[in-house]
Amino acid sequence: MEILLWLVPSAVVALAAMAWVSWAGRDGRGEVDRDVAVERLGRALTKEPPAGTRRTSARVRDRSTGIAVRPSHGAGPGDGATRRAS
């Protein structure tokens, strides 16, 4: 029995964590009225964004072919033409 005494602190911490999570996750905690939430969301969506923010369109992604290809950046020192053959 005395060999397992080192497990006691971790068991106490685990039990305390379980008790705290069960208390914090109980029903009704932080509940918001659905109608109020919908109204707030509607106001937020119709409001103009602050000056200085810009909206960008989503980038169009190329369809993946499953082959990794590095984009070419033109002829330069790292294009492979100046590498020595080994």
Confidence label for 85 from pLDDT (cuts 50, 70 and 90): low
7: its two tokens: 């497990």
Q: Is the dihedral of CA 36, 40, 41, 46 positive or negative?
A: positive
pTM score, whole prediction:
0.33
Residue 32 is predicted with a pLDDT of 76
45: its two tokens: 């969506």
Residue 42 is predicted with a pLDDT of 94
The counts of H helices and E strands in the chain are: 2, 0
Taking only the tens place, the pLDDT of each residue in 1-53 is 677 888 999 999 999 999 999 888 777 666 778 898 899 999 999 988 777 77
In degrees and rounded to multiples of 5, residue 47 shows phi and psi of -70, 140
85: its two tokens: 């053959």
Q: ∠ at Cα 51 (49, 54), nearest 5°?
A: 70
Across the range 57-66, mean pLDDT stands at 74
